[in-house]
Structure formats: C-alpha cells, structure tokens
Amino acid sequence: MASRKLWGGRFQGKQDPVALAFTESFSFDQQMWEEDIDILKAHVTMLVEKQIVQKEVGKKILTTLQSIHQEINESKLVLTSEHEDIHSFIEEELTKRIGEEASLIRIGRSRNDTVVTDLRLYLKRELSEILELHHQYLEALIDLGERFQDVVIPGYTHFRRAQPILFSFYCLAHFAGGMRERQALEFAHQWDDVSTLGAGAVSGTSWPIEPKISSKLLGFSETFFNALDAVSERDFLLAFYFACNLILTHFSRLSEDLILWSSEGLAYVDLPDDLCTGSSLMPQKKNPDPLELLRGKTGRMFGHLSSLFMLLKGLPMGYNRDLQEDKEPLFDAIKTIKESLYMMTRILEGLSLSKEALAKVWVDDFSLATDLADELVKSGYSFGEAHAYAGKLVRHCDEKGKFLKDLTAEEIKKMIPKADGKILKFLSIPESAKRRESPGGTGEKAVSKALIEAKAWLKEKAPKTR
C-alpha cells in the first residue's frame, strides 16, 4: 500500500519520485524509531493530563503505540522504505490501527520539534554508553601506567630527546587530557539534556499544553526556553562534536607516539600482535593499522564539526529542511567515537614496553645535560655558566665520539674547574627521571601521588550506570 503523506491536502497529483528520493530521511532516521514512539507516548500522556485529549482515546493511542513498539522490536513490523521519514511511518501505522483519532498526536506538536527531540533523546541514550567507554579508556591508561610505573622513557621536545621521564608520567599526561575530555562530554550532555517537545512548528501553540510534563516523562532535566530557538538550533550537536574532536585529537597524538615508539630504531613499545596487521608482500611487517586509523578518524570527526557549522551558518531563523542534514553525521560520529574509545582501550590493555630496547635507546644519549647543568650550579656556578659548561661537554663528547657516561673525572675537571668526579654520579638515566619531584613533575613520589589522585578521580566519576 502506498504511504499516505502527512501533508497531502494542499497538493494535486503525486510527488515527483526524484524529489521524494532526494528529500526522504527515512533511510537513516528510522534508527530513531524507538525515540519517536517514546516521544509520542510522552506527548499524548501530557495531552490527556491537560484534558486536551480524552482519557479513553489517549489510552487507545498509548496501547497501540506500545504494540507498534513491541512489533518493531520483535521484527514483526518491518520498517519499509516508502515513507518520507520515521515520523510519517509511525503515524501511518497508528492510523492504520485506530483510524483518524491517530492524528490527535499532532496537537501542539509538529515534526519540526519532534525531529530535534528525537535526536536529543537518541544522543542522550548514546552519551551514557560513551561516558562508560570513556571511563574504561581512562582506567586502562592508569592500569598501563601502573604496570610500567618505574620504566624510564625519553621525554621529547621537537621530537628530540630532551629529559628522561617515567612512562607512568607520560600516561598521566594523557589522563590530564582525559579529565578535560570528560568535562567536554559532560558539557555536551548538559546541552543535550533539554526537551524541545511542544515547541510546535515555529511558535508554540494555542492549545493549553505543558511541555514540562512530557520533558519529565522522557527523563530530560530541562525544557526549551523559546520555541523558535528550539526548532532551529543544533548547538548541542556542536558541543558533542567538540567533545569527540577533543578525544580524537588526543588519540591521534597518542597514536602517533605509539606508532613512532614501536617502529624500528626505537622499538621500545611492543604492540599486541592480535591488533596489528601484516603485509601481503613484505613478510617482516607488523603494521600498527588500528593506531593509524585512530589518527585518521580525527579528520573525519573534524569534518562533522565543520560541516555542521557550515550548515548552521546564515540559516534563516526557524526550521529549514537543511537541518535534516544533521542526522547522518551524528550517527557516524556516535559509531566512530564508540569504536575509537573501545579500540584505544584494547590497545592500551595489550601494550608492553621493552626494557632491552630502552637500554639501547639510552646508549647514545645526552638527555642528562640538564641534570649536569643543575649540579654545576650546586658547585658554585650561575645557571648561565653551568649551561654553557654542560653544552661544551656535549660538544667535546661529540668531537671525541663519546657519550656523557663515558667521561672521566679528569676530563671533566680539565674542562670545568669547579667540578669534581662526584658530578658523574648524577649522570644516571633512571635517577634523573625519578629526581624531578616538583609538583606535577616526573619524580617518583610526585607520580605515585598523581596516580593515587587519578584513581580517586576515576572512582568519583564512575558512571552511575555501573
């Protein structure tokens, strides 16, 4: 049976099939079938409570909506493609079952407010899963830091070895970003958690409705402030995309580090075999494809943020069909962020560090030059003098093909009059990292304290759904 349109009255003849195919959203908004039914139920309950719809009729609508829900859930009712959108499908199904009384669901409501409330409810439900996955990622980060708490890795600036740091300190750096990611997700949730149901098409309604009732029934914390704004803004999606982009930008940096640190030459990170791939031609290859894809997905997510800004820019106030373009990127963003969070968690859980490879990394190393300068200050030099002497020692080593650890007490004394052999005992890579106990630093005690704080934060922030 051909579907009946929600707006046929004013038109003569059939809609051009090309226009119909171009404008339909059923092929993708059918994902929100459950939200659409929930919203209609909340709206009808409110209409009954406000005595706009008779109790008996309301009951009939509600039980029919419930059976439609059940049948779709059990795949007894198939979501067929001949509809303009999911809202038309549900209303037509309701009409087929109870007749014209079905159209009472349109009182004080239009597709313009429904479509955005559907989207808000859909995202709200997904956000609780995303928060859980994000929490698991942060737990994996802290577990990883604790597993290799004392391992010392190079701390880089300009991707040149700068100062030795604890690997756990590096994990805590990503955790710091993770706490901001969480704030961004909470902010996105706060902006999303507003019901827009009852805004109507553009200006509210003359029916004595109470949108707060349906808002509460749907579990929203707030209700829209202005009907015109409610149907035409999508700022809550911008906030969500910002949070997703923040997470993926951080992931792309973490991925980049792990790709470099696991590559030949450095190889002090070992990626789990079962998460890597090989080459069809080169038998030796163990490629870090999931990390490369995580890095790559950042671009795709940024596309969603910028495309929505472009969609909203210059849009006349009010609902415009352009806004239908909000859905497909959102569904993609939700899928992408969930998969990315899960993937990164799995990688961190399977990752290990090679102390042997790190020992090789430290052989040709000058990362202790700052420690040397610091010690020379203690021998009575200004920091400027100490810096210059340490620099000269590095050049001397360079010329002689030596490293700092190969220097003798005599060599040092010859170049730096106030220095003595004691200075050599400060040239220890592990000691260097563990010594920097300033607040938020890589020192052993500072890191242990930070790990305790991080775990307390995780406990406090554990999603309520657990």
Residue 234 burial (CB count, 10 A): 20
Choose the binding region for ligand ARG from 94-102, 208-216, 302-310, 317-325 (rule: CB under 6 A): 317-325
With 0-12 / 13-18 / 19 or more C-beta atoms within 10 angstroms meaning exposed / middle / buried, residue 298 is: buried
Which CB atom, from 312 or from 377, has the smaller least distance to ligand ARG?
A: 312
Of these residues, 67, 128, 279, 306, which one is catalytic?
279
Choose the binding region for ligand ARG from 70-78, 167-175, 207-215, 316-324 (rule: CB under 6 A): 316-324
Of these residues, 75, 158, 206, 280, which one is catalytic?
158
Which CB atom, from 115 or from 123, has the smaller least distance to ligand ARG?
A: 115
- The minimum distance between CB 117 and ligand ARG, in angstroms, equals 12
Which CB atom, from 323 or from 368, has the smaller least distance to ligand ARG?
A: 323
Q: Tell me if residue 383 falls in helix, strand or coil.
A: helix
Task: Supply the DSSP string of 22-35, one letter for each residue.
Answer: HH--HHHHGGGHHH
Interacting residues with ligand ARG between 135 and 194 (CB under 6 A): none
Interacting residues with ligand ARG between 29 and 48 (CB under 6 A): 29
Which CB atom, from 283 or from 316, has the smaller least distance to ligand ARG?
A: 316
Is residue 250 at the binding interface for ligand ARG, with CB under 6 A as the rule? no
Pairing mode of beta strands 222-223, 269-270:
unpaired
Is residue 112 at the binding interface for ligand ARG, with CB under 6 A as the rule? yes
Site string for ligand ARG, 83-102 (x = CB under 6 A): --x-----------------
- The minimum distance between CB 20 and ligand ARG, in angstroms, equals 12
Q: Tell me if residue 164 falls in helix, strand or coil.
A: strand
Interacting residues with ligand ARG between 338 and 377 (CB under 6 A): none
Residues shown for the chain: 466
Which pairs with CB-CB distance under 8 Å and at least 24 residues apart come from 411-420?
415/389, 416/376, 416/389, 418/376, 418/379, 418/380, 418/381, 419/376, 419/379, 419/389, 420/379
252 is catalytic: no
Which CB atom, from 126 or from 374, has the smaller least distance to ligand ARG?
A: 126
> Which 8-state DSSP code applies to residue 234?
-
CA dist 429 and 403 (Å) reads 13
Is residue 213 at the binding interface for ligand ARG, with CB under 6 A as the rule? no
Tokens of 212: 């707060």
Distance of alpha carbon 226 from the chain centroid: 30
Q: Under 8 Å CB-to-CB from 184, ≥6 apart: which residues?
A: 239, 242, 243, 246, 247
E strands in 40-187: 152-157, 160-166
- The minimum distance between CB 321 and ligand ARG, in angstroms, equals 6
Choose the binding region for ligand ARG from 89-97, 227-235, 319-327, 437-445 (rule: CB under 6 A): 319-327
CA dist 183 and 337 (Å) reads 16
Choose the binding region for ligand ARG from 147-155, 159-167, 318-326, 395-403 (rule: CB under 6 A): 318-326
Is residue 115 at the binding interface for ligand ARG, with CB under 6 A as the rule? yes
Which CB atom, from 323 or from 407, has the smaller least distance to ligand ARG?
A: 323
Q: Are 432 and 371 in contact (CB under 8 A)?
A: yes
Task: Supply the DSSP string of 170-202, one letter for each residue.
Answer: HHHHHHHHHHHHHHHHHHHHHHH-EE-TT-TTT
Site string for ligand ARG, 43-82 (x = CB under 6 A): ----------------------------------------
Interacting residues with ligand ARG between 409 and 448 (CB under 6 A): none
CA dist 262 and 275 (Å) reads 13
Looking at 41, 69, 109, 111, which residue binds ligand ARG (CB under 6 A)?
Answer: 111
Interacting residues with ligand ARG between 323 and 342 (CB under 6 A): 323-324
Task: Supply the DSSP string of 431-448, one letter for each residue.
Answer: HHHHH--STTSS-HHHHH
Which CB atom, from 29 or from 38, has the smaller least distance to ligand ARG?
A: 29
Is residue 291 at the binding interface for ligand ARG, with CB under 6 A as the rule? no
- The minimum distance between CB 25 and ligand ARG, in angstroms, equals 4
Is residue 25 at the binding interface for ligand ARG, with CB under 6 A as the rule? yes
List beta partners, residue 165: 153
262 is catalytic: no
Which CB atom, from 263 or from 320, has the smaller least distance to ligand ARG?
A: 320
- The residues annotated with a catalytic role in the active site are 158, 279
Binding site for ligand ARG (CB under 6 A): 25, 29, 85, 111-112, 115, 319, 321, 323-324
